[in-house]
Structure 1
Amino acid sequence: MKYKISNSILEVSIKDFGAELCSLKKRNDSIEYLWQGDKKYWNRHAPILFPIVGKLIDNEYIYNNKTYKVGQHGFARDKLFEVFAKENDYISFKLTSSKETLEIYPFNFELYLSYRLINNSLKISYKVVNKSQKKMYFSIGAHPAFNWPLEKGNKGDYYLEFENTKELERLPLTVDGISEKKEIVNLEDNKLHLNEELFKDDALVIQNLKNKTITFKNSKDDKSIKMSFEGFAYLGLWSKQSGAPFICIEPWHGIADFIGHNKKLENKKGIITLLENEIFESSYTISV
């Protein structure tokens, strides 16, 4: 089921399946900013990544000497959330651990995913509560996809503008996991010019980004999307080299397995630890 929230500037739709954002529009024009999904390329919009981000080696991890199988980006994106609270410009969804989730992730948890409209911005918030009587280990992240181009036009006119940033530290993806041999991507006037060749080796995984604000725009008009994600350790940038008309800008608390990782969940790089009843909260904003 889809739910709508709105204010005087924006209209937003969210599905209860995955608590996934599925539409983002301004009320005074007809432009859809969010990718609408297409099986030819990628049939999602903006899934939540929980309790892992990225891919595990052999799609498995070890906890307390037991091996668990979990697919890329975890399971929350494929679960039905319940509506926890609803107002005209705000909605919050809740997912609770179940017998089914405990079979692949042995922790009791509450996961809240909330959306609030503030002027021309959408604030997306995460809240994770450890309901287990032990330490809980998890990662969480975002995967919003935006139409590229936003309107009819040339994809080659688009770029990502990073605030006060001359270079990016990229961690290369390989079939065996992420390499720690970072690569430097130089920017031109704080800009990463977008083209399909950028994604020939899958996503760009960025670490140590100091200024956590990015603007997606082109050189021909004033349509743009700004994302701010203070506190997130990693950033993923992804599209498909096949000419897919979307670009994903993905703030992450966590990362895929590195080459040679021993698969132990507590040793995973970027993993978050919560004590019993402890709460983790984080948020990012999308402005149009």
Structure 2
Amino acid sequence: MITLENEELKVTIAEKGAELQSIFHKKDQFDYLWQGAEGYWSKHAPNLFPIVGRLNDNKHIKDGKIYEMNQHGFARDLEFKVGEVTPDTVELVLQANEETLNRYPYEFTLKIHYRLDKNQLAVTYCVENHSDETMPYSLGGHPAFNLPINGEGKFEDYKLHFNAGAGLESLEYFEMEPLPYMSGRKLPLTALKNGEISIDRELFGAGLVMDMEMKGRIATLYSSQSSHSITLSLGDFPYLCLWTEEGMEAPFLCVEPFHGMADEYGEVGELADKRGINLLEAGQRDGHQYVMIFDNEWEVSICYLDNFIEVYPASERELVKMKEQLLDESRVDFYVGTQHFVKKELKGVGCEGWGIQFD
């Protein structure tokens, strides 16, 4: 077991699957990461490679030969070699071997690098193709977070807020039909309201895979009942999956950056033909990263009617309270990052807009 630690967080990682085991808040003595419980899903944060989701009949074809590979691939079940370790970084490495070649006939190296910096944990993947041909692959993170966070509030009190720069007015998701496969259709996500999704067990039980359209999205899991929050900066990951165990009152939610997805239902096919697949040329390497930020603080600007601007840091919980206060108080707007909230028609204060809205 590997430990990374600073004044704020203590992180443990297993060699098997290079899987996060714990993200512990030292001051308040609780774990952000799901620790498993009898009768529930037992993993914490598996790394998914070289596929994401399920293949038709758990098989794929390469040069006319059929290979078997289970859901989410094999990386999560194999031992990684540990590279250099410092108090706040570690790199773990998996290389192709006889076992992997029997399921995935490509020579590869997968490196997973963890870096702890204050209240942030960056997860960086490096995929190298040592074959003499193009290598198709998918990749994903599968972190599960305790919900409610630190026992504050209820599961249903939480929301996922998207900070999307110019505002997020719509999202589409990929229909899963029949489970656990894709139908090939994208549908509008009507649950999205004002750039947020309310956490709903029924909505996420089957796995909700969203098309993030633009790369670089930021998603924050928060509740007005909690002083803590979890933010994921998705980097170049084009899909985001939300999942909790179907039909159970499971006290966790997985927030999963994906580079790939399950097969569309049908015949066994080639990996290169899958939706969302990455195609890595011979001798080349790819890099992907997402970052988890715990109890993120934003720099907030409050604009008053007299045109006085006040700037100070605020937590997600404080921002929610601030938004509620704006409905009744004389403050006319505020910014959260690049998000702009407006209360009423403004004149002569360098702001414009009507009603509470995202600019």
TM-score of Structure 1 vs Structure 2, range by shorter chain: over 0.9
Distance 1:131 1:39, change over 3 A: farther
Is the Cα–Cα contact under 8 Å of residues 159 and 193 in structure 1 kept in the other structure? Answer: yes
Is the Cα–Cα contact under 8 Å of residues 171 and 178 in structure 1 kept in the other structure? Answer: yes
Distance 1:31 1:209, change over 3 A: farther
* Structure 1: stretches of 5+ with no match in the other structure: none
Q: Corresponding residue for 2:279?
A: 273
Is the Cα–Cα contact under 8 Å of residues 218 and 224 in structure 1 kept in the other structure? Answer: yes
Match of 1:171, SS?
A: strand
1:226-265: per-residue Cα shift (whole Å, max 9, x none)? 0001211111110023111110011111111113465112
- The 1-side partners of 2:41 and 2:283 are apart by 37
Task: Say yes or no: does 1:226 pair with 2:231.
Answer: yes
Distance 1:261 1:254, change over 3 A: farther
Superposed, 1:12-31 pairs within 5 Å as: 12-31=11-30
Q: Corresponding residue for 1:204?
A: 208
Q: Corresponding residue for 1:72?
A: 71
Match of 1:71, SS?
A: coil
Query: Among 178, 182, 195, which residue is 1:178 paired with?
Result: 182
* Structure 2: stretches of 5+ with no match in the other structure: 295-359
- The 2-side partners of 1:216 and 1:37 are apart by 20
1:126-184: per-residue Cα shift (whole Å, max 9, x none)? 00111112221111111000001112231111111112222220111122621222221
Q: Corresponding residue for 1:44?
A: 43
- The 1-side partners of 2:249 and 2:52 are apart by 25
Q: Corresponding residue for 1:169?
A: 172
Query: What is the TM-score when the length of structure 1 is the normalising length?
Result: 0.95
Is the Cα–Cα contact under 8 Å of residues 34 and 146 in structure 1 kept in the other structure? Answer: yes
Q: CA deviation at 1:49?
A: 0.4
Match of 1:266, SS?
A: helix
Query: Among 233, 241, 244, which residue is 1:236 paired with?
Result: 241
1:65-109: per-residue Cα shift (whole Å, max 9, x none)? 111110000000000011011001001100011111111110111
Query: Among 256, 259, 266, which residue is 1:253 paired with?
Result: 259
Q: Corresponding residue for 2:122?
A: 123
Superposed, 1:49-64 pairs within 5 Å as: 49-64=48-63
Query: What is the TM-score when the length of structure 2 is the normalising length?
Result: 0.77
Structure showing greater relative contact order (alpha-carbon pairs closer than 8 Å, 6 or more residues apart) = 1
- Equivalent residue letter for 2:269: K
| Number of residue-to-residue matches in the alignment | 286
Distance 1:208 1:3, change over 3 A: closer
Is the Cα–Cα contact under 8 Å of residues 240 and 258 in structure 2 kept in the other structure? Answer: yes
Match of 1:37, SS?
A: coil
Task: Say yes or no: does 1:216 pair with 2:221.
Answer: yes
RMSD: 1.4
Q: CA deviation at 1:53?
A: 0.5
Is the Cα–Cα contact under 8 Å of residues 63 and 266 in structure 1 kept in the other structure? Answer: no
Bigger shift: residues 44-53 or 259-268? 259-268
- Equivalent residue letter for 2:156: G
Q: Could you tell me the percent identity over the aligned residues?
A: 38
Bigger shift: residues 31-40 or 66-75? 31-40
Is the Cα–Cα contact under 8 Å of residues 55 and 268 in structure 2 kept in the other structure? Answer: no
Specify the structure having the higher radius of gyration (Cα).
Answer: 2
Q: Corresponding residue for 1:158?
A: 158
Q: Corresponding residue for 1:285?
A: 291
- Equivalent residue letter for 1:180: G
Is the Cα–Cα contact under 8 Å of residues 149 and 226 in structure 2 kept in the other structure? Answer: no
Superposed, 1:72-111 pairs within 5 Å as: 72-111=71-110
Is the Cα–Cα contact under 8 Å of residues 261 and 268 in structure 1 kept in the other structure? Answer: no
Q: CA deviation at 1:269?
A: 1.4
Is the Cα–Cα contact under 8 Å of residues 212 and 240 in structure 2 kept in the other structure? Answer: no
- The 2-side partners of 1:27 and 1:209 are apart by 36
Is the Cα–Cα contact under 8 Å of residues 57 and 268 in structure 2 kept in the other structure? Answer: no
- Equivalent residue letter for 2:274: K
Bigger shift: residues 141-150 or 209-218? 209-218
